[in-house]
Amino acid sequence: MTLATVREDHERMHPRLSRIAGIALLLLGIAVVLWRVFGSPRDWEGDMRWLRSGLMLGALGAISLSPRLIFPGVKGYAPDELSEKDDGAALDERP
C-alpha cells in the first residue's frame, strides 16, 4: 500500500455511511416537498415566493442526489463480496 492509496481510502465515504446519508437526504427532500404542498402557508406572495421556489428546487436537488449516495457506481464501494464479483470471477482472479 502506498501513501496515495491510503489517502484515497480515507477520502472515500464508507458504503454504509453513504447509504445512510442518501436515505436521510431522500427523506428530507420528500418531507420538504410534502410540507410545502400540504402544510406551508398559502399566502406566501411577493418576495416569499422566491423562498418557496428555492425550497422546492433544493428539495428536488436533494431527491435527485440521494440515489447517487444510496447506490454508488463503483464496484469497490460495495459492502459485500457478491457485488464485487463480475461474471462469477472475483476481482483478484482476473488475468
- The average pLDDT across 72-90 equals 57
How far apart are alpha carbons 36 and 56 in whole angstroms? 8
Instruction: Write down the H helix ranges in the chain.
Output: 3-11, 15-34, 48-70, 81-84
* Bridge partners for 78 per DSSP: none
Q: Is the pTM of this model over 0.85?
A: no
Going by pLDDT thresholds of 50, 70 and 90, the confidence category of residue 66 is very high
At residue 44, the 3 state secondary structure works out as: coil
What tens digit of pLDDT does each residue of 5-40 get? Answer: 544 554 567 888 889 999 999 999 999 999 888 876
